[in-house]
Amino acid sequence: MEREKISFQLLIHDLKVPLAVIEAGITSLLGKLDRYGPLTEKQEKVLRRTLRNTRVIQALVNDSLELQRSKEGVVNVTLLRVSDLIEGALVEIFDLVDHQTSEKIRVCADLQQMKGVLHENGVILMIDESLWCRELFLDEAKIKQILRNLLNNALKYRKSKVELRVEERQGCLLFSVKDDGEGIPSTHHKKIFESYFQMDPTGTYSVRGHGLGLAGVMVLVEYMGGELRLESDQGKGAEFMVKLPLKATNP
């Protein structure tokens, strides 16, 4: 890697520790009331907002490091339960938008319960019980990053509903993230995967993005030897499909 890039990556890397300290501090203030004293409703609201935004920065820092690692060709495959992967990705997403839901997801005992909690939030999870319980060799950080970005977009642009479908077919793991929002006209199907491209840069949505998510997803899918497909048209919602080849053993 070039020298400038390395020092930039180091700078990003060095943000991790102070961010973790900030996160732990706020979490303590919110969670250990007996030790730190009670909070007024307003104080708690401010702290929750601060915590959410700290986690947004943490996610950006981790994503940027993971993306760089991918570009350097680093894959980190471990044996992982599919349920842990999906639950982990969903917790990370809801941590940023809705603390109560992320807590509910964390304590789900089984797939049926998880489907129920998600359904309350307009997210329909479609996966077989057998795949849910399977252990596969996967690159957890990369797949979580892909799912987080696709689901965040779907939640941001949906009218009311998001579908997450997970399947195993012919030695590949397939993810589909579908929403019922305004969709993407075919003239933009290539452009949305370019860095900094946004169809609505003025940001009428409450959470403004950077136009980096899909460009990152594309890089990650490519480096895992997978395929990314988009089916969408104006007014008809959007479906992003990811196909990742599965490894039989740890390389």
Give the interface with ligand ATP as residue ranges (CB under 6 A): 149, 153-154, 157, 179, 181-182, 184, 192, 197-200, 209-215, 238
* CB 153 to Mg ion: min, Å: 4
* Least Å from the CB of residue 90 to ligand ATP: 17
Residues 21-50 interacting with Mg ion (rule: CB under 5 A): none
Among 88, 213, 226, 237, binds Mg ion (CB under 5 A): 213
Answer with the entry of ligand ATP, Mg ion, none that 122 interacts with (C-beta below 5 to 8 A by kind). Answer: none
- Dihedral sign computed on CA atoms, order 65, 66, 72, 77: positive
| Binding span for Mg ion by CB under 5 A among 87-95, 120-128, 151-159, 171-179 | 151-159
Give the strand pairing for 172-179 and 162-169.
antiparallel
Residue 25 or 209: which CB sits closer to Mg ion? 209
Residues 138, 34: Cα–Cα separation, whole Å? 41
Nearer residue to ligand ATP within complex by CB, 50 or 64: 64
The stretch near Mg ion (CB under 5 A) out of 76-84, 103-111, 121-129, 213-221 is 213-221
Closer residue to ligand ATP (CB): 112 or 206: 206
Phi and psi, residue 123, nearest 5°: -110, 125
Radius of gyration from C-alpha coordinates of the chain: 19
Q: Which helix (H) or strand (E) holds 79?
A: strand 78-81
The H or E element that residue 205 is part of is none
CB 216 to ligand ATP: min, Å: 8
- Choosing among Mg ion, ligand ATP, none, which partner's interface includes residue 221 (Cβ < 5 to 8 Å by kind)? none
CB of 77 to ligand ATP, least distance (A): 25
Look at residues 157, 164, 140, 153 and name the one whose alpha carbon lies nearest to residue 214. 153
- Sign of the Cα pseudo-torsion (24, 99, 131, 153, in order): negative
Query: How far apart, in whole angstroms, are the C-alpha atoms of residue 225 and residue 168?
Result: 16
Tokens encoding 74: 């680093």
Residue nearer to Mg ion on the CB measure, 172 or 215: 215
Could you tell me the two tokens for 227? 């395929």
Nearest CA among 215, 236, 241 for reference residue 70: 215
Q: How far is the CB of 108 from ligand ATP (least distance, A)?
A: 25
Binding-site partner at residue 133 among ligand ATP, Mg ion, none, CB < 5 to 8 Å by type: none
Whether 239 and 164 have beta carbons less than 8 Å apart is answered as no
Residues 192-211 binding Mg ion (CB under 5 A) are 209
- Identity of the residue, 84 or 200, whose beta carbon is nearer to ligand ATP in the bound complex: 200
Inter-residue contact 234 to 183 (CB < 8 Å) = yes
Q: Is 153 a residue that touches Mg ion (CB under 5 A)?
A: yes
Binding site residues, Mg ion, CB under 5 A: 153, 209, 213
